[in-house]
Amino acid sequence: MHERQHVEIHGHRVSYFAAGEGPPVMLVHGVTGTCAQWEPVAPLLAQRFSVVAPDLLGHGESAKPRGDYSLGAFASGIRDLAIALGHRKVTVVGHSLGGGIAMQFAYQFPEFCERLVLVSSGGLGEEVHPVLRAATLPGAEFVLPLIAGGRVRTAGGFVAGLLDRIGLRPSPDIEEMARGYGSLADGDARRAFVHTLRSVVDPTGQRVNATDRLYLAADMPALIVWGRRDPVIPVSHAATAERAMPGARLEIFERSGHFPQLDAPARFASLLTEFIESTEPAELDAETLRERVLAGRAATA
């Protein structure tokens, strides 16, 4: 991966990597993740595109302020980073929580969004892994240091090493979830995680659903990618997204879990490259958007 770069936006440090030249592609990771979750695919994409992958605020090497960790705030942050780097419009690719951010970005700032790519995305139904629901319970912030402690992380590494020695490779789901929860040993990261998660999940499941607004992106090229074996967000949500976005392309990675871009990076990069190069970027003007909002309001009245 290319060396990390940093920019200050609204007084906060934003860490990111950028590589390549061509049409801009913004890669948005999920909760507890970092831009490193795109490391296997970024060099492949950078052969054709200008790739930008940030650490979201509250994650990785970016600042972890006491502030707003809603989807809207993250979407604004993605827009501001694109502006800071000189990109007028981007294809936005969001994984998990990043998918919810990508949909919010397309909804809030359609003039900045050329294409929408959802990878194992949140925001499309209530079901989500019980561990994430439990992490929103009152007092969870006091339990998380125990989960993220050195002993637990060491045990996770031991299990991964044992699997490797007997010829079974730990899945990216296990590796990334262990790495993500390990990052919560840092108090600032832990507070940001709790604020972020509670903005989209409660003890009953996901509390944010974007399907009632996806019609606004009717002319926006959309690609949905999911792993058939996803244990975090069920693959059935992929069909929900496809129904809400007529014309969207759906690709299921049969042997993948929650991280298809890590399970099959070459296939993922090839699919994304073909999708971008075979579609025309969206051009949604203010009047068209107004007509759709009014039409949607009338349909639900």
pLDDT tens string 175-203? 777 777 677 778 898 899 999 999 999 99
CB 35 within 8 Å of CB 15 = yes
The token pair that represents 155 in the structure block: 């045990």
The token pair that represents 133 in the structure block: 């629901």
Q: Is the pLDDT of residue 276 over 70?
A: yes
> pLDDT digit string (tens) for 80-105?
999 999 999 999 999 999 999 999 99
CATH code: domain of residue 225: 3.40.50.1820
Q: Which residues contact 175 (CB under 8 A, 6 or more apart)?
A: 160
**Coil/strand/helix, residue 117:** strand
> pLDDT digit string (tens) for 113-154?
999 999 999 999 999 988 888 888 887 665 666 455 544 444
**Coil/strand/helix, residue 238:** helix
Mean pLDDT of the chain: 87
Q: Is the pLDDT of residue 301 over 50?
A: no
96 is catalytic: yes
Among candidate residues 15, 29, 50, 230, the one labeled active-site is: 230
- E runs forming strands in 71-208: 90-95, 113-119, 201-202, 205-206
Query: What is the number of structural domains in the chain?
Result: 1
Q: Does 196 reside within a domain?
A: no
The residue range of the domain holding 280 is 5-128+206-296
Q: Does 154 reside within a domain?
A: no
256 is catalytic: no
Q: Does 148 reside within a domain?
A: no
Task: Tell me how far apart the alpha carbons of residues 188 and 71 are, in angstroms, rounded to a whole number.
Answer: 19
Q: Would the pTM of this model clear 0.85, i.e. be above it? A: yes
Among candidate residues 50, 96, 121, 171, the one labeled active-site is: 96
> pLDDT digit string (tens) for 196-245?
999 999 999 999 998 888 777 778 999 999 999 999 999 999 999 999 88
230 is catalytic: yes
